[in-house]
Amino acid sequence: SHTSHDFTNPLTLLNASAQQGGVESGTRRKVKRLLSFQRYCHDSRLLRGLVPCAPGSLHFLDDDYLGQAAHMLSKVGTWNFDIFLFDRLTNGNSLVTLMCHLFNVYDLVHHFQLDMVKLHRFLGMVQEDYHSHNPYHNAVHAADVTQAMYCYLKEPRLAEQLSPLDVFLGLMAAAAHDVDHPGVNQPFLIKTKHHLASLYQNTSVLESHHWRSTVGMLRESGLLSHLQDIEQQLGSLILATDISRQNEFLLTFREHLDNQDLDLQLASHRHFILQIALKCADVCNPCRVWELSRQWSERVCEEFYRQGDLERQFDLEISPLCNQQADSVPAVQIGFISYIAEPLFEEWQRFTEPSALSRTMLGHLHKNKACWSSRRCAPSSPGTRTDSPDEEPGPEAGDEEGEDTP
């Protein structure tokens, strides 16, 4: 029958669809996923996770890239991990590769009896549903947040208390927390009367969409069909990344620390700390070494400016931070560090009592803030790039891989 195509052969499907006058967008997406999935399955050994002692895990790449990617993963728990380099070494598959490796590190596949094919299908779908044309909210950001989350899960105050479910939820939420992000913010969706804004009643619009998209992919992959209550807990974590709820979480966190009443034996308290850890991971760019931090700063501002250009094009009021003529990168970053990052990471340092990593992060944050301040005062046109991408790093120019803590 002309209506039943062989879905094991993407080319057959594409040809049949073309004869019928084109491919529906949903079908095209499935074809892309299928092609991508088959490439992973047949051309790599990623399903077993990439480990340093198995340089063949990415053998569809050049051997030199393989060795470098494997070497990088052997240091995936260090804070100066260069996710941009890792993404290039894995041919744009940093999120899938990193998640497979971390699931391997924690033995989560065995613990939760996960089907490897379903897991890889799900991770491929998540990576695919990030918009690669977004300067900031893309799969590399998701991989960066996941790597930061791994560093936080290893914090001495947390590591011994966490259950396998906590780790599983933390990594999954980090990987999927911005999936299908449109590259514009919630106020833009509301004022343009976007269907997502009305669907979620103008409340945590993007975060709700990220969560429900993740649930859709989980159900489509069948990955967690044998596990209960995962969807709601994932939702609770992803919804916590709504920046408009920053003060709500920060005040609760501060209150717990002031009262010294956090009991990590309690599942509810561990879940709250996972929410805080994800919030930290999501906004940790100012806490990275300057060369990495600067790249993220330029990317997020470029995304803001693109939204501002859209608003100007459609004769809408330009949103705060989105006017390239008025909002310079240094000014945006100094405001973000002062009002969002600094207060959060100061409390996180208190929570870690303080750890070597939290000291390192705050050290970078203060240096980066000073660096942006000096650039703000320097005579340059607003909204322009602060450095060329190849320029030597600033305050941390002496840092080498492995010298950073922990």
The DSSP string of 231-267 is: HHHHHHHHHTT-GGGHHHHHHHHHHHHHHT---TTSH
- Which domain range does residue 302 map to? 283-406
Q: Is 126 annotated as a binding residue?
A: no
Pair 142, 87: CB distance under 8 Å: no
Task: Dig out the tokens for 189 from the structure.
Answer: 């969706």
| Assigned domain for 27 exists | yes
| Assigned domain for 398 exists | yes
Q: Is 210 annotated as a binding residue?
A: no
| Assigned domain for 5 exists | yes
| Assigned domain for 165 exists | no
Preceding omega of 406 cis (within 30 degrees of 0): yes
Pair 271, 236: CB distance under 8 Å: yes
> How many domains does the structure of the chain reveal?
2
Q: Is 111 annotated as a binding residue?
A: no
| Assigned domain for 317 exists | yes
pLDDT (0 to 100) of residue 67: 84
Rg value, the chain, Cα: 22
| Assigned domain for 191 exists | no
| Assigned domain for 145 exists | no
Q: Is 390 annotated as a binding residue?
A: no
For tokens 């996941």, the residue is 146
Rounded CA separation 259/221 (Å): 43
pLDDT (0 to 100) of residue 28: 57
Pair 209, 176: CB distance under 8 Å: no
pLDDT (0 to 100) of residue 402: 39
Residue 271 bears catalytic tag = no
Residues in the chain: 406
The whole model's pTM is what?
Answer: 0.82
**Cα dihedral across residues 182, 184, 186, 191: positive or negative:** negative
What amino acid is encoded at 216 in this protein?
Answer: G
Q: Is 194 annotated as a binding residue?
A: no
Give me the phi and psi of 130, to 5 degrees please: -80, 145
The DSSP string of 206-231 is: HHHHHHHHHHHHHHHHTTTTT--SHH
pLDDT (0 to 100) of residue 36: 41
**Cα dihedral across residues 260, 263, 267, 273: positive or negative:** positive
For tokens 């240091």, the residue is 75
Question: Coil, strand or helix: which one is 23?
Answer: coil
pLDDT (0 to 100) of residue 326: 97
| Assigned domain for 400 exists | yes
Hey, what's the torsion of the CAs at 102, 243, 141, 154, to 10 degrees? -30
For tokens 């499907």, the residue is 13
Q: Is 282 annotated as a binding residue?
A: yes
| pLDDT tens, residue order, the chain (406 aa) | 334 333 333 333 333 333 444 444 555 555 444 444 333 333 333 333 433 333 334 444 567 887 899 999 999 999 999 999 999 999 999 999 999 999 999 999 999 999 999 999 999 999 999 999 999 999 999 999 999 999 999 999 999 999 999 999 999 999 999 999 999 999 999 999 999 999 999 999 999 999 999 999 999 999 999 988 999 999 999 999 999 999 999 999 999 999 999 999 999 999 999 999 999 999 999 999 999 999 999 999 999 999 999 999 999 999 999 999 999 999 999 999 999 999 999 999 999 999 999 999 999 999 999 999 999 987 654 544 444 433 434 443 334 333 455 6
Rounded CA separation 350/134 (Å): 35
Catalytic option among 71, 110, 133, 137: 137
What amino acid is encoded at 140 in this protein?
Answer: V
pLDDT (0 to 100) of residue 354: 97
Hey, what's the torsion of the CAs at 258, 343, 211, 162, to 10 degrees? -50
Rounded CA separation 34/208 (Å): 27
